[in-house]
Structure 1
């Protein structure tokens, strides 16, 4: 059995202090780091759990390890940063880190390197992102299988579903706002990176859909929760919990909608049949969610609050991205037109939705079946907002914007392709939901505008080369008149 590396004779705070200079360099480079563009000024420890030293979990795995001493720490750390210009002070985002510790890093794990520790309890050791390493990743699956409890971590599962041991782990390296590990083409574990306390829709909604028997969303097999005792700023009650990860069946041989759309675009193939099928799948999920979770009626007062939020986001976006300025009056008119309808007595139904629907959140199996994944919602928005009932057209607007993104990703752009896909998607949706989103053009324009504004800010911060894509939509939406 291999030895384990643990920081001995020290406190968890000293452990974090020894990692601090390395994390300041490494964390902002990660795709899922939310505070890009602002320096990290320090870290505070939320929780530190040594996972691998648990002999009951690692015994079956240790005998296969020949790489020497290995440690695995689960950290929840708060990253402190100065606030964005004009924004209120913020206590800092909390991130989930799986830190592997080795005396030396094998070449196969070079992409996972965080750095070499110079001081403190781990001086002379190398630390790295342990999700790249099959052995620590397999320890997490074994913990879920056995419903382990380690420190403040609770590994929970659906007892009706079987989890086989011995499945080989591999980390997915595609760009994601979180991290995912696949186990033997049987399961996929999504580890949330930026976490908040409370009921996370990425677990809540798939569980609700599983109860409804909706086959369009893989039912959760197991999940990981974290519990923190004491006040850590925004978690005020002793024992507050938050979801850290969800294990679901892996759809073998599936292609995500974004990759499939780009492939068909490159070949000059028609995509309208797939877009129509995807519209039907979306409507099935919305219909099941309306049965499974409460709905509300949006009248004038509720709609006014919703419109005010859209306007506030627009004003904030204009401050952040001055290129939006010339289009602000036209974009604002899209929101005010919706408020005017509500003032005239129009009402809408709001329900739980996906919250961040686009082609990359959809999987097509080899049999042609579409499934929807990743119900976390837009991570930048507060959790309470992500769990609020919304008009289903918000998801639809997200998918329509995604077709536009795909069309602009090829050279030359293919706007006619996007137009045809948008129409087919809405038609497919209407086949199941008995209502075509295009019959409510004011509502659809408002939500598409809100999404495009969000995209402008996101691209300006993270992918400036993509900024022309949402700006082209902004020009269209600022001048269009859906009535």
Structure 2
């Protein structure tokens, strides 16, 4: 699976927004974007005022036609600087965002909700500027760019060899995503556009490309992608988007788990199969990419980091404070494991594995269904360098175990059935993982318990800040993990 560097048809050289016009363009858009950006669900800096915008790059993918017959498509990378939190001495922070803006003299009624605004000056004066992904014509143009590898200004379009991407597939923008945007093309492909970007290959492109070179078929292989590069100024490109097969008829694991809970049905066969799928992905990643081993210094450092995160979370969430002693026992046990000579293999991981990141897909080969794993981006709030760092497989396993618990806690019914459902599926998942990998997660009890505890502490802090009504979910796990050593 590699980039086709010699396209059969050379891409048209569309005009770029040159340097003199770039400054005028930014001036004309600054006020509009300063109001529009913070309202987008994928904007990461909510709650902190914007202190400035910088235009990183601007490329015309399609110039607007005369007389308004053809909409224009403008690709922007904008760095948004934000004031630090009150009382902080830190310098203003800045994130780089990818924007795709359509340009028309007048918007059709169907596109009115996508309006960003009308500049009163500059090269787009008087034009309607809007979110381009809502416009099927412009979304179709983006697919056409991905069909033919090549470069346009700072943008580079790559494509996997051997695959077929038909033209003219109808575009449908998905709703509900938080940190990215996705467009489905003809129920055949899905394009994920990363909104907040930084230098380095995004794991959601890097890891599926690596897995495509192995025998693992649990992860859809990328069909095309595009990046931004600045020769001589950056060591690595920014991954902007990935086009992958759309898994028609699939249902995510979260919905299936909730259905099982609502109907009071057994889910352990699915959990067991999911454990096997996870192990197959881990095994393939370890074969495709470098691995290493953590010894005593690294494990003791990991335990110290977990202890520090617990202290910070308890400082912010009073409900956590009574359980600090019990939770710290898990981290102390990890330190003892390291001092006894224990080690831990680390490798590339999914990084944010839970029931919403796996799809149950109809299996055309033998009937029934099978699990596929998607969304290798990792936790978007973490720096890209952290998300690309190898880690112990138990970190992914702990994330899935916590997800079973989260699903069970959505069922407000009292009694032991819900608790039994969670325990049974957690155990079945680990059994499936052990059968496929030859390594039982329970054999590394100190590691698994420490990472599950660390994950629960993270969840408490997240829910307290963003979804207080969900705080009871991780707090139930906190009480369990703090009370028992097993």
CA contact (8 A) 1:36 1:462 kept: no
Alignment of 1:193-208 (within 5 A): 193-208=195-210
SS at match of 2:377: coil
SS of residue in 2 equivalent to 1:207: helix
Q: Deviation of residue 229 (structure 1)?
A: 5.1
Say which is worse superposed, 253-262 or 110-119, in terms of deviation: 110-119
Residues 352 and 389, structure 1, Cα contact 8 Å, conserved in 2: yes
Q: Pick closer, same or farther for the CA change 1:152–1:390 going to 2, 3 Å.
A: same
For residues 253 and 316 of structure 1, do their structure 2 counterparts lie closer, same or farther at Cα, with a shift above 3 Å needed?
Answer: same
1:337 Cα shift? 1.7
Measure, in 2, the Cα distance between the counterparts of 1:27 and 1:412: 41
Match of 2:50 in 1: 40
Task: Give the corresponding residue for 1:289.
Answer: 285
* Contact 1:266-1:410 at 8 Å conserved across structures: yes
Q: How does 1:38-77 map to 2 (within 5 A)?
A: 38-53=48-63, 68-77=69-78
The answer to whether the Cα contact below 8 Å between 1:8 and 1:121 also exists between their aligned partners in 2 is no
Distance in 1, Cα, partners of 2:289 & 2:250: 29
2:34 alignment partner, one of 16, 24, 37 = 24
CA distance in 2, matches of 1:123, 1:323: 54
Query: Superposed, which structure 2 residues align to 1:295-314 within 5 Å?
Result: 295-314=291-310
Rounded Cα–Cα distance in structure 2 between residues aligned with 1:307 and 1:238: 35
Q: Paired residue for 1:217, among 210, 216, 219?
A: 219
Q: Which moved more, 1:302-311 or 1:175-184?
A: 302-311
5 Å-filtered alignment, 1:439-450, equals 439-450=443-454
Residue 275 of structure 1 and its aligned partner are, at CA, apart by 1.1
User: Which residue pairs with 1:146 in the alignment?
Assistant: 148
Is structure 2 residue 460 aligned with structure 1 residue 456?
A: yes
* Partners of 2:63 and 2:71 within 8 A in 1: no
**2:479 maps to which of 451, 475, 480:** 475
Aligned equivalents of 1:81, 1:256: Cα separation in 2: 36
Unaligned runs of 5+ in 2: 1-13, 364-368
Matched, 1:191 2:177: no
Pair 1:326-2:327 in alignment: no
Alignment size in residue pairs = 464
**Partners of 1:458 and 1:171 in 2: CA distance:** 28
Q: CA RMSD in A?
A: 2.6
Please state how far the C-alpha of 1:205 moved relative to its aligned partner. 0.8
Q: How does the TM-score come out when normalised to structure 2? A: 0.88
| 1:155–1:330 distance in 2 versus 1, CA, 3 Å | same
Could you list the runs of 5+ residues in structure 1 that have no partner in the other structure? 55-61, 231-236
Q: Structure 1 residues 160 and 114 mapped into 2: Cα distance closer, same or farther (>3 Å)?
A: same
Aligned ranges 1:12-411 → 2 under 5 Å: 12-53=22-63, 68-84=69-85, 88-89=90-91, 91-228=93-230, 237-238=233-234, 240-367=236-363, 368-411=369-412
Deviation at residue 155 of structure 1 after TM alignment:
0.5
**Shift, 1:119, TM fit:** 4.4
Looking at structure 2, the residues matched to 476 and 117 of structure 1 have their Cα atoms a distance apart, in angstroms, of: 57
TM-score when normalising by structure 1: 0.89
